[in-house]
Amino acid sequence: MSLVRSTDASVNARAVTLYRGLAVPKADAKATGKRILSEGMLGREGRWQIILPDISHVRASLEALFCKPDLTRNDVLVNSQFRALCASGTAAGAAYYAIRHNHTEREDHPLVVEFTVSIDDICVDPRDFLCSAFQFWDRQSNGHRAWQSEILCQLFGPRILRYFEACQSTDQVLRIAMCNLAACDPEVVLGHLRNRRVIVGRYRTEFASAFLVKPPVSSDQISRIYEPVYRGQALYVSLDEFLKGEVLAG
């Protein structure tokens, strides 16, 4: 199944293309695809409510928050909204979520929604790699920090290093806050979007980049909806390897 809009969505210089992997009951797949194509995505489609920072507020206050000595996660998540949409920066990442991670006995038919969204309305989803990397990078040893910094730079761009440097403090509250702050930095978002190295995160998730999207996504932002094929991905580094300071997976 593939549903394509008859006219191309308008894209400006700040728009990026993302992919959302879904698993739906097979009997409802065609109707679900048509509904999304005509109505867009409102943020109520998933099973979970995910906290979304007030992205514009955080970015306007980025330097002040970074310099705040007692920064906490609550400072970053003030005025937060729920019902964020999860999306991948690559079609292969969305196919993995649609076919493997989100697949259940009942929701057994994969769909991928390809759409465009403003960079102003997305942040990095830090849950399956970045937060654990910031919190536990020295859990086994602090002797691999240079290598870990290099890996983070490859996966999220060089801007991530300023936040990781702040995590030399052993204060877990600060580490968690810095992770969430980094996830909102537009340079980190763009660095992560450019990444094509595949990460194995928590729960063995596989993705090159993962984002939280501010809903709604209107119907004219959706380019197409299709049934994906997942052929596997060449894995680059796992969260476990990162925390242990081990060699790359491939």
Pairing, β 122-124 against β 235-238 = unpaired
Of the candidates 152, 153, 129, 162, the residue with the CA atom closest to the CA atom of residue 239: 129
Please check the confidence at residue 103 and state whether its pLDDT lies above 50: yes
Pick from 76-90, 109-123, 161-175: least confident? 76-90
pLDDT of residue 7: 39
Q: Beta partners for 235?
A: 198
pLDDT of residue 11: 37
Q: Kindly report the three-state secondary structure assignment for every residue of 41-108.
A: ECCCCCCCCCCECCHHHHHHCHHHHHCCCCCCHHHHCCCCECCCEEEECCHHHHHHHHHHHCCCCCCC
Please check the confidence at residue 122 and state whether its pLDDT lies above 90: yes
Q: For residue 250, what pLDDT band results from cuts at 50, 70 and 90?
A: very low
Mean pLDDT for 156-161 is: 98
pLDDT of residue 84: 92
Mean pLDDT for 91-96 is: 96
Q: Would you say 199 and 208 are in contact if contact means Cβ atoms under 8 Å apart?
A: yes
Mean pLDDT for 154-183 is: 96
Mean pLDDT for 7-12 is: 39
Spell out the domain ranges in the chain: 2-244
Q: For residue 102, what pLDDT band results from cuts at 50, 70 and 90?
A: confident
Distance, CA of 133 to CA of 160 (rounded, Å) = 12
Distance, CA of 124 to CA of 111 (rounded, Å) = 22
Read off the pLDDT of residues 179-204 as tens digits, 9 standing for 90 and up: 999 999 999 999 999 999 999 999 89
Q: Beta partners for 222?
A: 115
Helix (DSSP H) and strand (DSSP E) numbers for the chain: 11, 10
pLDDT of residue 1: 64
Query: Using only C-alpha atoms, what is the Rg of the chain?
Result: 18
The tokens describing 22, both together, are 């879904």
Mean pLDDT for 69-84 is: 91
The tokens describing 143, both together, are 């002797």
Mean pLDDT of the chain: 91
Read off the pLDDT of residues 224-245 as tens digits, 9 standing for 90 and up: 999 999 888 899 999 999 999 9
Q: For residue 6, what pLDDT band results from cuts at 50, 70 and 90?
A: very low
Pick from 31-40, 79-88, 207-216: least confident? 79-88
Which residue would you say has higher pLDDT here, 5 or 137?
Answer: 137
Please check the confidence at residue 107 and state whether its pLDDT lies above 90: no
DSSP string of 7-25, one letter each residue: SPPP--TTEEEEEEEEEE-
Please check the confidence at residue 37 and state whether its pLDDT lies above 80: yes
Distance, CA of 165 to CA of 191 (rounded, Å) = 17
pLDDT of residue 47: 62
